[in-house]
Amino acid sequence: MPGADVSVLAQCPSPLPAGDESARALLEDVGLGFWLELPQRHGAETRNQRGALHRAADTAAQNILVEQSGTAWSDAVTAASAAAAWWVGFFAVIRHRGVHHTTLEPHPGPLHEQALGTAVSVVAHGMATRVLEAALRNSDDDPALRAAYCRAIEAGVCVEPELPRLVDELAELRLVDLVSTTARWRGRFTKYAGGTGAGQVE
Amino acid sequence: MNHRHPFIVIEGLDGTGKTTLRKGLFRLWEGLYGVTPLCVLTTNFLAADQAAAIVTGKYQPNAGNRDAYLSAIAADKRATLDRLVLPQRPARPVIADRWLLSELAFFAVKHGMRASETYETLAAHLTVAPDLTLVLDLETDASMSRAQARQGDAVRADWDVHDVQSRVRETYEAVVTKPDEFPLLGNVVRLDARRLRSEVLLAAWDVLRERQLVPSLAAHAEGGETHG
Ligand SMILES: Nc1ncnc2c1ncn2[C@@H]1O[C@H](COP(=O)(O)OP(=O)(O)OP(=O)(O)O)[C@@H](O)[C@H]1O
Ligand SMILES: [Mg+2]
């Protein structure tokens, strides 16, 4: 991704709505305090310009939340997704200094910005899933929360077959680690793709 | 508190979303309830001496191999219950991607057997019913286009065609409307599979919650360990 703008890639995410202590507590609860803090502290200030990674993060959060807003869990999902854009962007900025994730050779080849957008949405879904699980463990009474969790799960199921290709494209160790440890997936075992309809053993 | 985990079966025509729902439930249990389910298929090739009869009976069904096939799948299901389902249930839920209903439909369509006749033969070998059979319900046009849109090579010319799938659906209907005659299906619940994937999962989860087949999360939060 030659010529990319560092300040747009590692843009500072919007902060949690003022006074939303319950959203922050939920994030702390799942051990994601740092996930928000570092982007807030080190993110680049950019005015009036939302990069592609931030848009990917917004879309990921909206896919899970649909219309829901104003609860601790929805604010926490929005914040965790926005932070995902910074983490992916930051690792993209230092990617040229990294090594290939399997060969450990330096100088990973160039990369399409589109792959970074996919990486953001995978990471955002993974973090959102964690946040929603923490909220559900406190109480599963809210049907909107259960519905959001089901959307997060199915987003994960749908993206799983694409992950091996994404990891190959990202190539660099830190980015690959970020994606592959945040997504829920069964590794590269994709024999499930074809279905059992005709009696194929999955 | 429920110390015995459920045995759940997912049924539906090809392409209705069984595997998708099974993966969703797997993630739900693992992520939220902290227990990893065991997933099995309708045949698991656990009765080694029956494997050849299963392959022939499934892919080249004819009058000559019908009975051998039926007794082979009975033996295989019996072995699946004895060696996988029953030993695992103290530790984890078991989710089967197809089970009895699919076999009843296969024998009805390929061999013209009445569902009750196939059922009786299988029932003679099986002692345990699932807690729940979820049937994904979808028009054949929709299920076939879902199955075909998928990558992979799992669509069969002698099975994934309109008239066969319609007859399969009729058998499902006939069985599902008379659950009392097929007790080894357990409780049967139909789910509208026209909805979004996440809505189907939510509906299945609601059924599990209503029937207390998943742990109560309030108890989970207070008591810590839910699974003894
Ligand atoms: N609710 C849904 N809405 C739209 N598409 C769906 C839905 N559920 C599953 N699909 C898609 O339809 C295709 C078939 O789904 P799946 O493989 O889960 O069906 P299946 O019932 O397991 O099929 P088979 O009997 O062939 O194994 C997949 O591409 C899947 O992503
Ligand atoms: Mg399947």
For chain B, the structural domain boundaries read 32-221
Length reported for chain B: 228
Question: B42 near B98, Cβ under 8 Å?
Answer: yes
**pLDDT digit string (tens) for B63-119?**
999 999 999 999 999 999 999 999 999 999 999 999 999 999 999 999 999 999 999
Residue A103 lies in a domain: yes
Which of A153, A190, A196 for mutating ligand 1's site (highest number of atoms within 8 Å of CB)? A196
How far is the C-alpha of B9 from the C-alpha of B128, rounded, in Å?
A: 12
Which ipTM score applies to this complex?
A: 0.91
Residue A145 lies in a domain: yes
Angle at Cα A80 formed by Cα A77 and Cα A85, nearest 5°?
125
Q: Which residue matches tokens 């008379």?
A: B178
What DSSP line would sit under B184-219, residue for residue? GG-EEEEEETTS-HHHHHHHHHHHHHHTT-S--HHH
Q: Which domain holds residue A124?
A: 6-11+18-198
Shortest CA distance from B21: residue in chain A:
A154
Confidence of residue B153 (pLDDT cuts 50, 70, 90): low
Indicate the residue of B24, B196, B199 with minimum beta-carbon distance to A157: B24
Total structural domains in chain A?
1
A138 CB near a chain B CB, below 8 Å?
Answer: yes
**pLDDT digit string (tens) for B167-209?**
999 999 999 999 999 999 999 999 999 999 999 999 999 999 9
Residue A144 lies in a domain: yes
Q: What is the three-class DSSP state of B129?
A: coil
Residue A1 lies in a domain: no
As a whole number of Å, the end-to-end CA separation of chain A is 38
Answer yes or no: do A197 and B14 touch at CB < 8 A.
yes
Kindly list the residues from chain B whose CB atom is less than 8 angstroms away from the CB atom of residue A161.
151
Give distance in angstroms: CA of A59 to centre of ligand 2.
29
Residue A83 lies in a domain: yes
Task: Report which residue type is found at A41.
Answer: R
Which of B9, B13, B19 for mutating ligand 1's site (highest number of atoms within 8 Å of CB)? B19
How far is the C-alpha of A152 from the C-alpha of B193, rounded, in Å?
A: 18
Q: What's B32-221's CATH class? A: alpha beta
CA nearest neighbour of A53 among A127, A133, A114: A114
Q: Which ligand is nearest to the CA of B102?
A: 1
How far is the C-alpha of A44 from the C-alpha of B79, rounded, in Å?
A: 61
| This prediction's pTM | 0.92
The DSSP element (H or E) to which B100 belongs, if any, is helix B100-111
Q: Which ligand is nearest to the CA of B136?
A: 1
Q: Which residue matches tokens 């008591």?
A: B223
Q: Please, what is the average pLDDT of chain B?
A: 92
Question: Tens-of-pLDDT digits for all 202 residues of chain A?
Answer: 555 677 778 888 877 776 688 999 999 999 999 999 999 999 888 766 778 999 999 999 999 999 888 899 999 999 999 999 999 999 999 999 999 999 999 988 999 989 999 999 999 999 999 999 999 999 999 999 999 999 999 999 999 889 999 999 999 999 999 999 999 987 655 554 444 443 344 4
As a whole number of Å, the end-to-end CA separation of chain B is 10
